[in-house]
């Protein structure tokens, strides 16, 4: 074990001049003189947001990422010119930290408006709808008239009334408002009716968050719905992985190291710091999914370990079909109502997300499995995965099987972080920092805010702030 040399980087020390930093998009604002060496374990959105923030503050940072590339669940795989987002699909105009970091990393123009056109399968056909937009939902043939009337008369006023408690940045407020004690399905069936759950709550939760309406906290669903009223959909040009690539580039340009293919098996507290893979650092950010964090920490953070055991994570796998022509229709995501399908929750026509990820004239369909079916696909071969998803997909897109060129499976062992009833209340302890106990190890990950890239980034920035505050 050797001690990493402490690098003091004020405004003018380090490999870059101020002018270079400015040109390369590394802001001078906030550039301090924190005299700390920090290991960041995990090169996903949470870890890289923390690393970027720490580098900017002047810390000496090393990111350890076990995979060959950064990105975690936002990785983009490139196959024969297809840029396949096997995990994260879309971002939103409410992702203010993501957008700010991207700009500061010099890649703000990488995020583009996605058309936002989705569809819901109902009565044997796809009905276009802009999910979350009340005007579109009211105009769409996807929803029966009775449900539209209840949405206008009951649900939208409910969301307005409870607006202050429904904040995706502070989901614990929904718990304070008493909305975390039951599931979205229980609330929906009682207050509005079964159609609300089958056609609205369930497709959205299953497709975007891998959780059934019976398992998701009602407060989580209401906060999503409230955000959806004004959210515009964004996509990363060239694939979602561009976000983490931009952050990793900025970390390196700022003098930090990003090591890929670098697994960490334990994070141990030692005298005056932390031991990570045989190197000594002043502090560490553990930015891996909760079950992996538990494995790394051992008994280094007893209170945190207890809390982490309450995080539920669901494995899943997505199936990408590389097609010789575009998918018929203009929509991006085609979702299925509750009970309509057994295996496929949604199919995403990647060429329609406006992100230049599919070669001209080709198509790319990504099947997102239902919460119940995802885990079984985890170790499936491409042939087995195709056999599982094709019947339901072909029902909606009859020409599909004739156009398939290749099949890829993207397994996500720690795929979905589940925000179940009772979980929002647990977030308060996490937010207050009770998990770290003021020590040199900070946790980061989507499980600390919201199961989204923005949630992961928020947690990464919090972790960096805590370490900077220790000095
Ligand atoms: C199918 C799917 C679709 C999604 N769609 C969206 C979407 O459209 N929009 C959205 O906002 N969110 C979406 N999400 C959620 C989003 O991907 C996650 O919330 C986000 O990636 C979490 O970031 P993170 O940094 O906390 O974890 P991760 O992205 O999982 O990153 C953790 C990193 O740690 C690394 N790691 C793990 N263990 C070790 C170790 N021992 N040593 C070194 N490195 C290690 C991993 O390889 C990984 O790179 C989706 C998720 C899935 C699964």
241 Cβ closer than 6 Å to some ligand 1 atom: no
DSSP notation for 324-376? SSPPSSS-SEEE--TTT-SSEEEEEEGGGSSS--S-TT-EEEEEEEPTTTTGG
Length of the chain: 471
- Helix (H) and strand (E) counts in the chain: 17, 21
Q: Which domains does the chain have, with CATH numbers?
A: 2-72+240-301+436-470 (3.50.50.60), 75-91+313-418 (3.90.660.10), 132-229 (1.10.3110)
**How far is residue 312's CA from residue 420's CA, in Å, rounded to a whole number?**
8
For residue 407, count other CB atoms closer than 10 A to its CB.
18
Which DSSP letter does residue 67 get?
Answer: S
446 Cβ closer than 6 Å to some ligand 1 atom: yes
Residue from 73, 89, 114, 292 whose mutation best tests the ligand 1 pocket (most atoms within 8 A of CB): 73
Which is nearest to 214 in space by CA: 174, 180, 186? Answer: 186
82 Cβ closer than 6 Å to some ligand 1 atom: no
234 Cβ closer than 6 Å to some ligand 1 atom: no
**How far is residue 150's CA from residue 127's CA, in Å, rounded to a whole number?**
20
Per-residue pLDDT of the chain (471 residues; tens, 9 = 90+): 434 433 333 332 233 433 444 444 444 334 456 789 999 999 999 999 999 999 999 999 999 999 999 999 999 999 999 999 999 999 999 999 999 999 999 999 999 999 878 999 998 999 988 766 767 777 888 899 999 999 999 999 999 999 999 999 999 999 999 999 999 999 999 999 999 999 999 999 999 999 999 999 999 999 999 998 888 899 999 999 999 999 999 999 999 999 999 999 999 999 989 999 999 999 999 999 999 999 999 888 888 988 999 999 999 999 999 999 999 988 999 999 999 999 999 999 999 999 999 999 999 999 999 999 999 999 999 999 999 999 999 999 999 999 999 999 999 999 999 999 999 999 988 887 778 777 899 999 999 999 999 999 999 999 999 999 887
Phi first, then psi: what are they for 156, rounded to 5°? -65, -45
- C-beta separation of 324 from 77 below 8 A: no
In the reported structure, the alpha carbon of residue 469 is separated from the centroid of ligand 1 by a whole-number distance in angstroms of 26
Which DSSP letter does residue 5 get?
Answer: P
Residue from 48, 88, 373 whose mutation best tests the ligand 1 pocket (most atoms within 8 A of CB): 88
Beta strands in 255-351 (DSSP E): 257-260, 267-270, 273-276, 279-281, 283-286, 312-323, 333-335, 344-349
Helix 184-191 and helix 218-228, axial crossing angle in degrees, nearest 10: 70
62 Cβ closer than 6 Å to some ligand 1 atom: no
Is 470 buried (19+), middle (13-18) or exposed (0-12) by CB count in 10 A?
Answer: middle
Tokens 């700390």 sit on residue: 36
94 Cβ closer than 6 Å to some ligand 1 atom: no
For residue 287, count other CB atoms closer than 10 A to its CB.
32
């Amino acid at each position: 074990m050797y001690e990493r040399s402490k690098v003091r980087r004020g405004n003018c020390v380090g490999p870059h001049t101020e002018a270079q930093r400015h040109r390369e998009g590394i802001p001078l604002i906030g550039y301090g003189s924190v005299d700390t060496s920090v290991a960041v374990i995990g090169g996903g959105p949470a870890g890289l947001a923390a690393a970027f923030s720490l580098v900017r503050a002047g810390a000496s940072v090393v990111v350890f990422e076990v995979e060959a590339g950064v990105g975690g669940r936002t990785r983009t795989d490139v196959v024969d010119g297809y840029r396949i987002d096997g995990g994260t699909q879309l971002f939103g105009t409410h992702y203010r930290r993501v957008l700010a970091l991207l700009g500061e990393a010099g890649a703000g123009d990488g995020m583009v408006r996605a058309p936002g056109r989705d569809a819901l399968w109902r009565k044997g056909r796809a009905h276009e709808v802009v999910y979350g937009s009340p005007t579109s939902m009211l105009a769409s043939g996807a929803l029966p008239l009775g449900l539209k009337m209840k949405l206008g008369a009951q649900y939208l006023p409910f969301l307005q009334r409870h607006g202050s408690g429904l904040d995706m940045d502070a989901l614990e407020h929904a718990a304070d408002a008493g909305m975390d004690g039951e599931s979205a399905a229980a609330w929906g069936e009682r207050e509005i009716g079964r159609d609300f759950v089958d056609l609205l709550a369930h497709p959205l939760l299953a497709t975007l968050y891998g959780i059934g309406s019976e398992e998701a906290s009602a407060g989580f669903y209401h906060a999503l719905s409230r955000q959806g009223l004004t959210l515009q959909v964004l996509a990363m040009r060239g694939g979602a992985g561009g976000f983490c690539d931009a952050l990793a580039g900025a970390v390196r340009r700022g003098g930090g190291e990003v090591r890929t293919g670098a697994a960490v098996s334990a994070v141990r507290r030692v005298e005056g710091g932390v031991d990570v893979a045989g190197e000594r650092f002043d502090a560490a950010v553990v930015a891996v999914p909760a079950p992996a964090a538990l494995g790394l920490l051992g008994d280094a953070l007893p209170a945190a370990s207890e809390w982490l055991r309450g995080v539920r994570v669901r494995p899943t796998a997505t199936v990408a079909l590389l097609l010789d022509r575009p998918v018929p229709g203009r929509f991006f995501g085609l979702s299925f109502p509750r009970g309509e399908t057994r295996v496929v929750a949604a199919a995403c026509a990647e060429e329609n997300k406006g992100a230049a990820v599919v070669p001209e004239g080709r198509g790319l369909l990504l099947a997102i499995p239902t919460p119940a079916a995802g885990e079984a696909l985890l170790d499936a071969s491409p042939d087995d995965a195709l056999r599982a998803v094709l019947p339901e997909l072909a029902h909606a897109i009859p020409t599909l099987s004739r156009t398939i060129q290749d099949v890829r499976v993207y397994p996500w062992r720690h795929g979905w972080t589940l925000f179940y009833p009772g979980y929002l209340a647990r977030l308060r302890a996490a937010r207050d920092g009770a998990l770290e106990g003021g020590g040199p190890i900070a946790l980061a990950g989507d499980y600390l805010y919201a199961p989204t890239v923005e949630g992961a980034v928020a947690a990464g920035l919090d972790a960096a702030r805590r370490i900077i505050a220790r000095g």
